[in-house]
Chain A
Amino acid sequence: MNNDADATLRHADLDTTRGSRLKGPVGQPVVSISNLSKTYDSGFRALKDVDLEIRRGEIFALLGPNGAGKTTLIGIVCGIINATRGTVVVDGYDNVTQYRETRSRIGLAPQELTTDSFESVWGTASFSRGLFGLPKKPAHIEKVLKDLSLWDKRNNRIMTLSGGMKRRVLIAKALAHEPRILFLDEPTAGVDVELRHEMWNLVRALRATGVTIILTTHYIGEAEEMADRVGVINDGELILVEDKTALMRKLGSKQLTLQLQSRLDGIPDSLAAYDLELAADGHELIYTYDTTAEATGITRLLRDLKQTGIRFKDLRTKESSLEEIFVNLVRERR
Protein backbone atom coordinates (compact mmCIF):
# COMPACT_ATOMS: atom_id res chain seq x y z
CA MET A 1 0.00 0.00 0.00
CA ASN A 2 1.59 3.27 1.06
CA ASN A 3 5.22 2.60 0.39
CA ASP A 4 6.00 6.19 -0.42
CA ALA A 5 4.23 7.46 2.63
CA ASP A 6 6.10 4.92 4.70
CA ALA A 7 9.43 6.05 3.32
CA THR A 8 8.63 9.70 3.96
CA LEU A 9 7.60 8.82 7.43
CA ARG A 10 10.85 7.07 8.10
CA HIS A 11 12.89 9.95 6.83
CA ALA A 12 10.89 12.38 8.84
CA ASP A 13 11.32 10.34 11.96
CA LEU A 14 14.55 10.69 13.85
CA ASP A 15 14.18 7.36 15.56
CA THR A 16 14.74 4.98 12.67
CA THR A 17 13.28 1.94 14.39
CA ARG A 18 9.95 3.58 14.86
CA GLY A 19 7.56 2.74 12.10
CA SER A 20 10.03 0.52 10.31
CA ARG A 21 7.72 -2.48 10.29
CA LEU A 22 4.66 -0.57 9.27
CA LYS A 23 2.98 -0.99 5.96
CA GLY A 24 1.20 2.33 6.05
CA PRO A 25 1.68 5.53 7.94
CA VAL A 26 1.01 5.95 11.62
CA GLY A 27 -2.53 7.01 12.39
CA GLN A 28 -4.23 5.26 9.45
CA PRO A 29 -6.75 2.60 10.39
CA VAL A 30 -5.11 -0.80 10.82
CA VAL A 31 -8.19 -2.59 12.15
CA SER A 32 -11.58 -1.57 10.79
CA ILE A 33 -14.60 -3.04 12.47
CA SER A 34 -17.91 -2.30 10.80
CA ASN A 35 -21.42 -3.05 11.81
CA LEU A 36 -20.28 -5.90 14.02
CA SER A 37 -22.95 -7.81 15.93
CA LYS A 38 -22.82 -10.99 17.93
CA THR A 39 -25.74 -13.01 19.17
CA TYR A 40 -24.66 -16.08 21.11
CA ASP A 41 -26.49 -19.39 20.67
CA SER A 42 -28.24 -18.66 23.94
CA GLY A 43 -29.90 -15.74 22.17
CA PHE A 44 -27.88 -13.20 24.14
CA ARG A 45 -26.84 -10.14 22.15
CA ALA A 46 -23.28 -9.46 23.25
CA LEU A 47 -22.42 -6.90 20.57
CA LYS A 48 -24.77 -4.49 18.84
CA ASP A 49 -23.64 -2.89 15.58
CA VAL A 50 -20.18 -1.93 16.69
CA ASP A 51 -18.13 0.34 14.43
CA LEU A 52 -14.56 0.96 15.44
CA GLU A 53 -11.30 1.88 13.79
CA ILE A 54 -7.99 1.22 15.47
CA ARG A 55 -5.19 3.42 14.20
CA ARG A 56 -1.82 2.11 13.27
CA GLY A 57 0.73 2.47 16.00
CA GLU A 58 -1.60 3.58 18.76
CA ILE A 59 -2.36 2.19 22.18
CA PHE A 60 -6.10 1.78 22.37
CA ALA A 61 -7.77 1.04 25.69
CA LEU A 62 -11.13 -0.69 25.60
CA LEU A 63 -13.04 -0.07 28.78
CA GLY A 64 -16.34 -1.35 30.02
CA PRO A 65 -17.96 -3.10 32.96
CA ASN A 66 -18.00 -6.89 33.33
CA GLY A 67 -19.97 -8.53 30.56
CA ALA A 68 -19.90 -5.44 28.33
CA GLY A 69 -18.60 -7.39 25.35
CA LYS A 70 -14.87 -6.57 25.33
CA THR A 71 -13.66 -10.17 25.16
CA THR A 72 -16.33 -10.98 22.59
CA LEU A 73 -15.13 -8.14 20.36
CA ILE A 74 -11.51 -9.23 20.64
CA GLY A 75 -12.48 -12.87 20.06
CA ILE A 76 -14.19 -12.01 16.79
CA VAL A 77 -11.26 -9.98 15.48
CA CYS A 78 -8.83 -12.79 16.34
CA GLY A 79 -10.97 -15.56 14.82
CA ILE A 80 -12.04 -17.36 17.99
CA ILE A 81 -15.69 -16.32 17.81
CA ASN A 82 -17.88 -16.18 14.72
CA ALA A 83 -19.51 -12.83 14.14
CA THR A 84 -23.26 -12.88 13.58
CA ARG A 85 -23.06 -9.88 11.27
CA GLY A 86 -20.51 -7.32 10.17
CA THR A 87 -16.93 -7.28 8.95
CA VAL A 88 -13.45 -6.92 10.32
CA VAL A 89 -10.64 -5.72 8.08
CA VAL A 90 -7.07 -5.98 9.33
CA ASP A 91 -4.33 -4.23 7.42
CA GLY A 92 -6.52 -4.34 4.34
CA TYR A 93 -7.45 -8.02 4.65
CA ASP A 94 -10.80 -9.51 5.59
CA ASN A 95 -10.44 -11.56 8.76
CA VAL A 96 -12.67 -14.38 7.50
CA THR A 97 -11.76 -14.83 3.85
CA GLN A 98 -8.10 -13.84 4.24
CA TYR A 99 -7.58 -15.17 7.73
CA ARG A 100 -3.99 -16.22 7.15
CA GLU A 101 -2.99 -12.64 6.41
CA THR A 102 -4.88 -11.16 9.33
CA ARG A 103 -4.02 -13.76 11.94
CA SER A 104 -0.31 -13.81 11.21
CA ARG A 105 -0.26 -10.09 12.01
CA ILE A 106 -2.14 -10.42 15.28
CA GLY A 107 -0.96 -11.59 18.69
CA LEU A 108 -3.48 -12.31 21.41
CA ALA A 109 -3.00 -12.66 25.14
CA PRO A 110 -6.38 -13.86 26.37
CA GLN A 111 -8.10 -12.91 29.58
CA GLU A 112 -8.37 -16.44 30.93
CA LEU A 113 -5.20 -18.06 32.23
CA THR A 114 -5.25 -20.99 29.83
CA THR A 115 -1.91 -22.73 29.58
CA ASP A 116 -0.50 -26.19 28.97
CA SER A 117 0.48 -27.10 32.52
CA PHE A 118 3.03 -29.73 31.53
CA GLU A 119 4.90 -27.64 28.98
CA SER A 120 7.94 -25.56 29.81
CA VAL A 121 7.86 -21.80 29.41
CA TRP A 122 10.41 -22.02 26.61
CA GLY A 123 8.56 -24.88 24.94
CA THR A 124 5.20 -23.17 24.92
CA ALA A 125 6.59 -19.91 23.51
CA SER A 126 8.45 -21.81 20.78
CA PHE A 127 5.28 -23.74 20.00
CA SER A 128 3.38 -20.49 19.48
CA ARG A 129 5.97 -19.20 17.05
CA GLY A 130 5.78 -22.40 15.00
CA LEU A 131 2.00 -22.45 15.07
CA PHE A 132 1.96 -18.98 13.57
CA GLY A 133 4.06 -20.21 10.69
CA LEU A 134 7.52 -18.95 11.53
CA PRO A 135 10.82 -20.84 11.65
CA LYS A 136 12.64 -21.15 14.96
CA LYS A 137 14.41 -18.06 16.25
CA PRO A 138 15.75 -18.70 19.74
CA ALA A 139 17.19 -15.20 20.00
CA HIS A 140 13.72 -13.70 19.70
CA ILE A 141 12.15 -16.04 22.24
CA GLU A 142 15.01 -15.25 24.58
CA LYS A 143 14.41 -11.52 24.20
CA VAL A 144 10.68 -11.86 24.82
CA LEU A 145 11.20 -14.00 27.93
CA LYS A 146 13.77 -11.57 29.27
CA ASP A 147 11.53 -8.59 28.59
CA LEU A 148 8.79 -10.28 30.58
CA SER A 149 11.10 -11.31 33.43
CA LEU A 150 10.51 -14.97 32.63
CA TRP A 151 14.02 -15.90 31.62
CA ASP A 152 14.86 -17.53 34.94
CA LYS A 153 11.75 -19.65 34.63
CA ARG A 154 12.28 -20.75 31.04
CA ASN A 155 12.77 -24.41 31.92
CA ASN A 156 10.00 -24.54 34.48
CA ARG A 157 6.81 -26.36 33.77
CA ILE A 158 3.99 -23.84 33.57
CA MET A 159 2.07 -25.48 36.39
CA THR A 160 4.88 -24.54 38.77
CA LEU A 161 4.43 -20.82 38.04
CA SER A 162 2.40 -18.26 39.96
CA GLY A 163 -0.71 -16.67 38.47
CA GLY A 164 1.08 -13.46 37.56
CA MET A 165 3.82 -15.44 35.86
CA LYS A 166 1.27 -17.43 33.86
CA ARG A 167 -0.27 -14.15 32.73
CA ARG A 168 3.15 -13.13 31.44
CA VAL A 169 3.62 -16.50 29.74
CA LEU A 170 0.45 -15.78 27.76
CA ILE A 171 1.90 -12.44 26.69
CA ALA A 172 5.19 -14.12 25.76
CA LYS A 173 3.27 -16.59 23.58
CA ALA A 174 1.43 -13.71 21.92
CA LEU A 175 4.73 -11.97 21.15
CA ALA A 176 6.54 -15.08 19.94
CA HIS A 177 5.61 -14.52 16.30
CA GLU A 178 6.49 -10.82 16.30
CA PRO A 179 2.95 -9.57 15.69
CA ARG A 180 2.26 -6.07 14.43
CA ILE A 181 -1.02 -5.85 16.25
CA LEU A 182 -1.28 -6.99 19.83
CA PHE A 183 -4.46 -7.66 21.75
CA LEU A 184 -4.03 -7.75 25.51
CA ASP A 185 -7.19 -8.78 27.31
CA GLU A 186 -6.66 -7.60 30.87
CA PRO A 187 -2.88 -8.01 30.75
CA THR A 188 -2.24 -6.74 34.24
CA ALA A 189 -4.96 -8.62 36.13
CA GLY A 190 -3.19 -10.31 39.01
CA VAL A 191 0.19 -8.75 38.23
CA ASP A 192 1.95 -6.99 41.09
CA VAL A 193 2.58 -3.24 41.10
CA GLU A 194 6.24 -3.36 40.22
CA LEU A 195 5.77 -5.76 37.33
CA ARG A 196 2.78 -3.81 36.17
CA HIS A 197 5.02 -0.81 35.62
CA GLU A 198 7.53 -3.02 33.83
CA MET A 199 4.73 -4.28 31.65
CA TRP A 200 3.64 -0.74 30.79
CA ASN A 201 7.19 0.01 29.79
CA LEU A 202 7.24 -3.08 27.61
CA VAL A 203 3.99 -2.04 25.94
CA ARG A 204 5.40 1.41 25.28
CA ALA A 205 8.59 -0.10 23.90
CA LEU A 206 6.51 -2.28 21.58
CA ARG A 207 4.55 0.71 20.43
CA ALA A 208 7.83 2.46 19.73
CA THR A 209 8.71 -0.33 17.30
CA GLY A 210 5.45 0.25 15.48
CA VAL A 211 3.20 -2.34 17.11
CA THR A 212 -0.43 -1.36 17.50
CA ILE A 213 -1.79 -2.32 20.91
CA ILE A 214 -5.37 -2.84 21.96
CA LEU A 215 -5.83 -3.54 25.64
CA THR A 216 -8.71 -3.98 28.01
CA THR A 217 -8.43 -3.23 31.65
CA HIS A 218 -10.47 -2.61 34.74
CA TYR A 219 -7.72 -0.46 36.23
CA ILE A 220 -8.76 2.81 34.73
CA GLY A 221 -5.61 4.44 35.97
CA GLU A 222 -3.84 2.11 33.58
CA ALA A 223 -5.78 3.40 30.60
CA GLU A 224 -5.20 6.95 31.78
CA GLU A 225 -1.49 6.23 32.01
CA MET A 226 -1.05 4.26 28.80
CA ALA A 227 -3.70 4.90 26.19
CA ASP A 228 -3.65 7.26 23.25
CA ARG A 229 -7.34 6.69 22.71
CA VAL A 230 -10.08 5.21 24.80
CA GLY A 231 -13.20 3.32 23.82
CA VAL A 232 -16.01 2.61 26.23
CA ILE A 233 -18.29 -0.32 25.62
CA ASN A 234 -21.41 -1.00 27.64
CA ASP A 235 -24.05 -3.65 27.09
CA GLY A 236 -22.59 -4.52 23.72
CA GLU A 237 -22.70 -0.95 22.48
CA LEU A 238 -19.70 1.20 21.85
CA ILE A 239 -20.80 4.35 23.61
CA LEU A 240 -17.71 6.41 23.14
CA VAL A 241 -14.38 6.51 21.31
CA GLU A 242 -12.19 9.46 22.02
CA ASP A 243 -8.69 10.73 22.23
CA LYS A 244 -7.76 10.31 25.88
CA THR A 245 -6.58 13.82 26.58
CA ALA A 246 -9.47 15.32 24.65
CA LEU A 247 -11.86 13.13 26.55
CA MET A 248 -10.51 14.17 29.86
CA ARG A 249 -10.64 17.78 28.83
CA LYS A 250 -14.13 17.47 27.43
CA LEU A 251 -15.91 15.32 29.94
CA GLY A 252 -13.71 16.14 32.84
CA SER A 253 -15.07 18.60 35.30
CA LYS A 254 -13.27 20.47 37.99
CA GLN A 255 -14.38 20.94 41.50
CA LEU A 256 -13.72 23.87 43.75
CA THR A 257 -13.99 23.03 47.43
CA LEU A 258 -14.42 25.85 49.93
CA GLN A 259 -13.82 25.24 53.62
CA LEU A 260 -16.35 27.37 55.42
CA GLN A 261 -15.75 29.35 58.56
CA SER A 262 -19.16 28.50 59.91
CA ARG A 263 -21.43 25.58 59.19
CA LEU A 264 -24.28 25.91 56.68
CA ASP A 265 -27.59 24.07 57.00
CA GLY A 266 -28.53 24.45 53.37
CA ILE A 267 -27.60 26.29 50.22
CA PRO A 268 -29.04 29.81 50.31
CA ASP A 269 -31.62 30.62 47.64
CA SER A 270 -29.48 33.43 46.31
CA LEU A 271 -26.91 30.82 45.20
CA ALA A 272 -29.39 28.38 43.63
CA ALA A 273 -28.11 29.14 40.13
CA TYR A 274 -24.77 27.51 40.86
CA ASP A 275 -23.99 23.77 40.82
CA LEU A 276 -23.28 23.60 44.52
CA GLU A 277 -23.38 20.91 47.13
CA LEU A 278 -22.62 20.77 50.79
CA ALA A 279 -20.14 18.31 52.19
CA ALA A 280 -18.37 17.51 55.45
CA ASP A 281 -21.55 18.03 57.41
CA GLY A 282 -22.06 21.55 56.10
CA HIS A 283 -18.50 22.67 56.64
CA GLU A 284 -17.54 22.44 52.98
CA LEU A 285 -19.14 23.86 49.89
CA ILE A 286 -18.32 22.15 46.59
CA TYR A 287 -18.71 23.93 43.29
CA THR A 288 -18.53 21.80 40.15
CA TYR A 289 -17.79 23.60 36.92
CA ASP A 290 -17.18 22.73 33.34
CA THR A 291 -13.61 23.19 32.16
CA THR A 292 -14.66 23.70 28.57
CA ALA A 293 -17.07 26.52 29.33
CA GLU A 294 -15.88 29.98 28.41
CA ALA A 295 -16.14 31.28 31.91
CA THR A 296 -15.77 29.10 34.95
CA GLY A 297 -18.02 31.35 37.01
CA ILE A 298 -15.67 31.27 39.95
CA THR A 299 -15.24 35.01 40.22
CA ARG A 300 -18.97 35.53 40.14
CA LEU A 301 -19.52 32.84 42.73
CA LEU A 302 -16.96 34.30 45.09
CA ARG A 303 -18.56 37.71 44.74
CA ASP A 304 -22.04 36.31 45.40
CA LEU A 305 -20.74 34.39 48.39
CA LYS A 306 -19.36 37.55 49.87
CA GLN A 307 -22.67 39.32 49.35
CA THR A 308 -24.54 36.49 51.03
CA GLY A 309 -22.12 36.73 53.92
CA ILE A 310 -20.57 33.29 53.58
CA ARG A 311 -16.90 33.28 54.52
CA PHE A 312 -14.33 30.57 53.91
CA LYS A 313 -10.99 29.63 55.43
CA ASP A 314 -9.43 27.80 52.52
CA LEU A 315 -10.09 26.58 49.02
CA ARG A 316 -8.78 23.87 46.71
CA THR A 317 -9.56 22.52 43.25
CA LYS A 318 -9.64 18.98 41.95
CA GLU A 319 -9.84 17.55 38.43
CA SER A 320 -11.93 14.48 37.76
CA SER A 321 -10.06 11.35 36.69
CA LEU A 322 -10.79 9.07 33.78
CA GLU A 323 -12.25 6.73 36.33
CA GLU A 324 -14.94 9.22 37.34
CA ILE A 325 -15.69 9.98 33.72
CA PHE A 326 -16.06 6.29 33.05
CA VAL A 327 -18.27 5.62 36.04
CA ASN A 328 -20.50 8.53 35.10
CA LEU A 329 -20.77 7.39 31.50
CA VAL A 330 -21.76 3.88 32.40
CA ARG A 331 -24.11 4.94 35.15
CA GLU A 332 -25.92 7.33 32.81
CA ARG A 333 -26.77 4.37 30.59
CA ARG A 334 -28.23 2.23 33.29
Chain B
Amino acid sequence: MNVYGVRAIYTFEMSRARRTLLQSIVSPVIATSLYFVVFGAAIGSRIAEVEGVSYGSFIVPGLIMLMLLTQSVSNASIGIYFPKFIGTVYELLSAPVSYFEIVLGYVGAAATKSLVLGVIVLATAGLFVPLHIAHPLWMVVFLVLTAITFSLLGFIIGIWADGFEKLNIVPLLIITPLTFLGGTFYSIDMLPPFWQKVTLFNPVLYLVSGFRWSFYGIADVGVGASLAMIIVFLTLCLGVVAWIFKTGYRLKA
Protein backbone atom coordinates (compact mmCIF):
# COMPACT_ATOMS: atom_id res chain seq x y z
CA MET B 1 0.00 0.00 0.00
CA ASN B 2 1.39 3.38 -1.06
CA VAL B 3 0.47 5.32 2.08
CA TYR B 4 2.55 8.33 1.13
CA GLY B 5 0.79 8.46 -2.21
CA VAL B 6 -2.68 8.43 -0.65
CA ARG B 7 -1.60 11.07 1.82
CA ALA B 8 -0.20 13.25 -0.95
CA ILE B 9 -3.49 13.15 -2.87
CA TYR B 10 -5.58 13.68 0.25
CA THR B 11 -3.51 16.61 1.49
CA PHE B 12 -3.44 18.18 -1.95
CA GLU B 13 -7.23 18.01 -2.16
CA MET B 14 -7.71 19.36 1.34
CA SER B 15 -5.35 22.26 0.71
CA ARG B 16 -7.37 23.12 -2.37
CA ALA B 17 -10.35 23.61 -0.04
CA ARG B 18 -8.28 25.57 2.44
CA ARG B 19 -7.47 28.14 -0.22
CA THR B 20 -11.16 28.93 -0.43
CA LEU B 21 -11.87 28.37 3.23
CA LEU B 22 -14.03 31.41 3.79
CA GLN B 23 -16.15 30.59 0.79
CA SER B 24 -16.55 26.96 1.79
CA ILE B 25 -17.79 27.87 5.28
CA VAL B 26 -19.70 31.05 4.65
CA SER B 27 -21.75 29.84 1.71
CA PRO B 28 -23.32 26.82 3.45
CA VAL B 29 -24.04 28.91 6.56
CA ILE B 30 -25.84 31.52 4.46
CA ALA B 31 -27.68 28.88 2.44
CA THR B 32 -28.86 27.09 5.59
CA SER B 33 -30.01 30.34 7.16
CA LEU B 34 -31.98 31.19 4.03
CA TYR B 35 -33.71 27.81 4.04
CA PHE B 36 -34.68 28.36 7.65
CA VAL B 37 -36.04 31.80 6.96
CA VAL B 38 -38.08 30.61 3.99
CA PHE B 39 -39.16 27.12 5.02
CA GLY B 40 -38.85 27.28 8.75
CA ALA B 41 -40.26 30.70 9.52
CA ALA B 42 -42.39 31.71 6.52
CA ILE B 43 -43.91 28.37 5.53
CA GLY B 44 -43.32 26.49 8.75
CA SER B 45 -45.48 28.87 10.73
CA ARG B 46 -48.46 27.58 8.74
CA ILE B 47 -47.56 23.93 9.25
CA ALA B 48 -48.00 23.11 12.87
CA GLU B 49 -46.17 19.86 13.44
CA VAL B 50 -45.12 16.80 11.48
CA GLU B 51 -45.57 13.61 13.41
CA GLY B 52 -45.05 15.42 16.67
CA VAL B 53 -41.98 17.38 15.61
CA SER B 54 -42.05 21.12 14.91
CA TYR B 55 -41.67 21.81 11.18
CA GLY B 56 -38.47 23.79 11.71
CA SER B 57 -36.82 20.86 13.47
CA PHE B 58 -38.35 18.39 11.03
CA ILE B 59 -36.49 19.83 8.04
CA VAL B 60 -33.05 19.88 9.70
CA PRO B 61 -32.01 16.31 8.71
CA GLY B 62 -33.28 16.85 5.17
CA LEU B 63 -31.39 20.07 4.91
CA ILE B 64 -28.16 18.48 6.07
CA MET B 65 -28.68 15.67 3.56
CA LEU B 66 -29.31 18.19 0.80
CA MET B 67 -26.03 19.92 1.56
CA LEU B 68 -24.17 16.65 2.02
CA LEU B 69 -25.32 15.22 -1.29
CA THR B 70 -24.69 18.28 -3.42
CA GLN B 71 -21.36 19.11 -1.82
CA SER B 72 -20.05 15.53 -1.96
CA VAL B 73 -20.90 15.29 -5.62
CA SER B 74 -19.48 18.66 -6.57
CA ASN B 75 -16.32 18.33 -4.47
CA ALA B 76 -15.42 14.90 -5.72
CA SER B 77 -16.35 15.55 -9.34
CA ILE B 78 -14.27 18.71 -9.58
CA GLY B 79 -11.42 17.03 -7.70
CA ILE B 80 -10.85 14.46 -10.43
CA TYR B 81 -12.23 16.42 -13.37
CA PHE B 82 -9.77 19.27 -12.96
CA PRO B 83 -6.53 17.25 -13.32
CA LYS B 84 -8.07 15.65 -16.39
CA PHE B 85 -8.98 19.03 -17.78
CA ILE B 86 -5.59 20.69 -17.27
CA GLY B 87 -3.63 17.51 -17.98
CA THR B 88 -1.90 16.99 -14.64
CA VAL B 89 -3.62 13.60 -14.47
CA TYR B 90 -0.57 12.27 -16.34
CA GLU B 91 1.29 12.20 -13.04
CA LEU B 92 -1.42 10.23 -11.28
CA LEU B 93 -1.45 7.67 -14.07
CA SER B 94 2.33 7.33 -14.14
CA ALA B 95 2.68 7.02 -10.36
CA PRO B 96 2.90 3.72 -8.46
CA VAL B 97 -0.54 4.16 -6.91
CA SER B 98 -3.31 1.60 -7.24
CA TYR B 99 -6.82 2.53 -8.27
CA PHE B 100 -7.99 1.88 -4.76
CA GLU B 101 -5.41 4.34 -3.44
CA ILE B 102 -6.41 7.02 -5.94
CA VAL B 103 -10.06 6.64 -4.95
CA LEU B 104 -9.13 6.64 -1.28
CA GLY B 105 -7.29 9.94 -1.67
CA TYR B 106 -9.88 11.76 -3.76
CA VAL B 107 -13.07 10.34 -2.29
CA GLY B 108 -11.66 10.48 1.22
CA ALA B 109 -10.90 14.17 0.87
CA ALA B 110 -14.27 14.97 -0.74
CA ALA B 111 -16.13 13.04 1.95
CA THR B 112 -14.16 14.76 4.71
CA LYS B 113 -15.01 18.15 3.29
CA SER B 114 -18.71 17.43 3.04
CA LEU B 115 -18.75 15.93 6.53
CA VAL B 116 -17.24 19.11 7.93
CA LEU B 117 -19.88 20.97 6.01
CA GLY B 118 -22.64 18.76 7.42
CA VAL B 119 -21.47 19.58 10.94
CA ILE B 120 -21.45 23.31 10.12
CA VAL B 121 -24.99 23.09 8.78
CA LEU B 122 -26.08 21.18 11.86
CA ALA B 123 -24.55 23.82 14.12
CA THR B 124 -26.17 26.62 12.13
CA ALA B 125 -29.54 24.87 12.37
CA GLY B 126 -29.04 24.68 16.12
CA LEU B 127 -29.16 28.46 16.18
CA PHE B 128 -32.67 28.47 14.75
CA VAL B 129 -34.42 25.46 16.24
CA PRO B 130 -33.94 23.14 19.20
CA LEU B 131 -32.20 19.97 18.07
CA HIS B 132 -32.72 16.52 19.43
CA ILE B 133 -30.64 13.57 18.32
CA ALA B 134 -32.13 10.27 19.45
CA HIS B 135 -29.50 7.93 17.97
CA PRO B 136 -26.21 9.86 17.65
CA LEU B 137 -24.22 6.80 16.62
CA TRP B 138 -26.64 5.99 13.80
CA MET B 139 -26.65 9.61 12.78
CA VAL B 140 -22.88 9.46 12.31
CA VAL B 141 -23.17 6.18 10.40
CA PHE B 142 -25.73 7.67 7.99
CA LEU B 143 -23.69 10.82 7.64
CA VAL B 144 -20.44 9.03 6.86
CA LEU B 145 -21.94 6.41 4.53
CA THR B 146 -23.84 9.06 2.58
CA ALA B 147 -20.79 11.30 2.28
CA ILE B 148 -18.69 8.42 0.97
CA THR B 149 -21.34 7.12 -1.41
CA PHE B 150 -22.05 10.45 -3.00
CA SER B 151 -18.40 11.38 -3.16
CA LEU B 152 -17.95 8.17 -5.14
CA LEU B 153 -20.80 9.20 -7.38
CA GLY B 154 -19.16 12.59 -7.83
CA PHE B 155 -15.86 10.89 -8.68
CA ILE B 156 -17.62 8.87 -11.37
CA ILE B 157 -19.26 11.99 -12.78
CA GLY B 158 -15.92 13.79 -12.77
CA ILE B 159 -14.35 11.02 -14.82
CA TRP B 160 -17.29 10.70 -17.18
CA ALA B 161 -17.59 14.44 -17.82
CA ASP B 162 -15.61 15.72 -20.77
CA GLY B 163 -16.72 19.32 -20.36
CA PHE B 164 -17.84 21.70 -17.66
CA GLU B 165 -21.39 21.45 -18.94
CA LYS B 166 -21.62 17.74 -18.22
CA LEU B 167 -19.98 18.35 -14.87
CA ASN B 168 -22.83 20.62 -13.88
CA ILE B 169 -25.69 18.91 -15.58
CA VAL B 170 -25.89 15.77 -13.45
CA PRO B 171 -26.07 17.61 -10.14
CA LEU B 172 -28.51 20.08 -11.64
CA LEU B 173 -30.80 17.67 -13.46
CA ILE B 174 -30.59 14.63 -11.23
CA ILE B 175 -29.25 15.19 -7.74
CA THR B 176 -31.11 18.39 -6.89
CA PRO B 177 -34.57 17.21 -8.09
CA LEU B 178 -34.13 13.84 -6.39
CA THR B 179 -33.25 15.58 -3.16
CA PHE B 180 -36.12 18.02 -3.27
CA LEU B 181 -38.57 15.27 -4.20
CA GLY B 182 -37.09 12.87 -1.65
CA GLY B 183 -38.94 14.15 1.39
CA THR B 184 -36.33 16.70 2.38
CA PHE B 185 -38.90 19.30 3.34
CA TYR B 186 -41.94 17.10 3.93
CA SER B 187 -43.09 13.72 5.07
CA ILE B 188 -44.34 11.62 2.17
CA ASP B 189 -47.58 11.12 4.12
CA MET B 190 -48.38 14.64 2.99
CA LEU B 191 -48.42 13.47 -0.67
CA PRO B 192 -51.35 11.94 -2.57
CA PRO B 193 -51.14 8.11 -2.57
CA PHE B 194 -49.96 7.90 -6.19
CA TRP B 195 -47.01 10.20 -5.61
CA GLN B 196 -46.21 8.39 -2.40
CA LYS B 197 -45.67 5.24 -4.52
CA VAL B 198 -43.55 7.12 -7.05
CA THR B 199 -41.40 8.62 -4.32
CA LEU B 200 -40.56 5.14 -3.11
CA PHE B 201 -38.38 4.76 -6.22
CA ASN B 202 -36.31 7.75 -5.20
CA PRO B 203 -33.13 6.55 -3.47
CA VAL B 204 -32.67 9.87 -1.70
CA LEU B 205 -35.92 9.29 0.21
CA TYR B 206 -34.30 6.38 1.99
CA LEU B 207 -31.28 8.44 3.01
CA VAL B 208 -33.32 11.33 4.33
CA SER B 209 -35.76 9.04 6.08
CA GLY B 210 -33.07 7.03 7.82
CA PHE B 211 -31.20 10.14 8.78
CA ARG B 212 -34.32 11.75 10.17
CA TRP B 213 -35.05 8.63 12.16
CA SER B 214 -31.64 8.98 13.85
CA PHE B 215 -32.77 12.44 15.00
CA TYR B 216 -36.40 12.04 15.97
CA GLY B 217 -37.18 8.35 15.74
CA ILE B 218 -39.70 8.97 12.93
CA ALA B 219 -39.27 7.63 9.40
CA ASP B 220 -41.08 7.36 6.08
CA VAL B 221 -39.58 3.94 5.43
CA GLY B 222 -37.99 1.36 7.71
CA VAL B 223 -34.47 2.05 8.98
CA GLY B 224 -33.33 -1.30 7.66
CA ALA B 225 -34.53 -0.35 4.18
CA SER B 226 -32.67 2.94 4.44
CA LEU B 227 -29.44 1.27 5.42
CA ALA B 228 -29.84 -1.41 2.75
CA MET B 229 -30.42 1.28 0.13
CA ILE B 230 -27.21 3.13 1.00
CA ILE B 231 -25.23 -0.09 0.93
CA VAL B 232 -26.68 -1.04 -2.45
CA PHE B 233 -25.87 2.37 -3.81
CA LEU B 234 -22.39 2.32 -2.35
CA THR B 235 -21.69 -1.09 -3.86
CA LEU B 236 -23.01 0.08 -7.21
CA CYS B 237 -20.69 3.09 -7.19
CA LEU B 238 -17.73 0.96 -6.17
CA GLY B 239 -18.49 -1.42 -9.01
CA VAL B 240 -18.58 1.40 -11.54
CA VAL B 241 -15.32 2.86 -10.21
CA ALA B 242 -13.65 -0.54 -10.43
CA TRP B 243 -14.82 -0.87 -14.03
CA ILE B 244 -13.60 2.64 -14.88
CA PHE B 245 -10.11 1.87 -13.68
CA LYS B 246 -10.02 -1.56 -15.21
CA THR B 247 -10.80 -0.21 -18.65
CA GLY B 248 -9.11 3.16 -18.23
CA TYR B 249 -12.42 4.69 -19.32
CA ARG B 250 -11.94 8.40 -20.09
CA LEU B 251 -8.63 8.34 -18.22
CA LYS B 252 -6.30 6.53 -20.58
CA ALA B 253 -6.18 6.74 -24.34
Contact = CB atoms under 8 A, between A and B. Distances in A.
Partners in one complex: yes
Contacts of B27: none
A17 interface: no
A103 B12 CA distance: 21
Interface stretch (B57-65, B86-94, B177-185): B86-94
Contact of A116 (B8, B9, B88, B90): B88
B46 interface: no
A134 B97 CA distance: 12
A229 to B, nearest CB: 24
15 contacts: A80-B252, A81-B252, A100-B2, A101-B96, A103-B95, A108-B91, A114-B87, A130-B4, A131-B5, A131-B9, A131-B92, A131-B97, A133-B2, A133-B5, A135-B4
A130 B8 contact: yes
Q: Give the interface size bracket for A toward B.
A: 20 to 34
A118 B19 contact: yes
Of B4, B12, B94, B95, chain A has the most CB atoms within 10 Å of the CB of B94
Interface of A: 40-41, 75, 78-82, 99-101, 103-104, 106, 108, 110, 112, 114-118, 127-135, 173
Given A78-B93, A112-B87, 12 more contacts: A78-B94, A82-B253, A100-B98, A108-B91, A108-B94, A116-B86, A127-B12, A131-B5, A131-B92, A133-B2, A134-B4, A173-B91
Nearest to A110: B90
Interface string B1-42: 011110111011000100100000000000000000000000
B248 A132 contact: no
Nearest to A135: B4
Given A80-B252, A130-B5, A133-B96, A115 B90 contact: no
Given A81-B253, A127-B12, A114 B88 contact: yes
A101 B96 CA distance: 7
Contacts of B7: 130
Contacts of B16: 118
Contacts of B97: 131, 133
Interface string B193-224: 00000000000000000000000000000000
Contact of A131 (B8, B248, B253): B8
A114 B95 contact: no
A52 B230 CA distance: 50
Contacts of B4: 129-135
Contacts of B11: 130
B91 to A, nearest CB: 7
Identify the 9 closest CB pairs spanning chains A and B, nearest first. Answer: A130-B8, A114-B87, A103-B96, A100-B96, A78-B94, A133-B2, A104-B96, A131-B8, A131-B95
B12 A108 contact: no
Contacts of B252: 80-82
B157 to A, nearest CB: 21
Contacts of B87: 110, 112, 114
Contacts of A106: 94
Contact of A79 (B8, B9, B88, B93): B93
Nearest to B3: A133
A132 B12 contact: no
Nearest to B19: A118
Please indicate which of the listed interface residues B2, B12, B86, B90 has the most CB atoms of chain A within 10 Å of its own CB: B90
A13 B86 CA distance: 45
Contact of A80 (B94, B96, B98): B94
B84 to A, nearest CB: 11
A79 B94 contact: yes
Contacts of A131: 4-5, 8-9, 91-92, 95, 97
B78 to A, nearest CB: 13
A297 B79 CA distance: 69
Nearest to B2: A133
A41 to B, nearest CB: 7
A110 to B, nearest CB: 5
A128 B91 contact: yes
Given A118-B19, A133-B2, A80 B8 contact: no
A116 B7 CA distance: 18
A129 B12 CA distance: 13
B91 A40 contact: no
A183 to B, nearest CB: 9
A117 B82 CA distance: 12
B93 A80 contact: yes
Contacts of A110: 87, 90
A286 to B, nearest CB: 47
Interface string B231-253: 00000000000000000100011
A186 to B, nearest CB: 14
Contacts of B95: 103, 131-133
Contacts of A75: 253
Contacts of B12: 127
A110 B91 CA distance: 9
Contacts of A79: 93-94
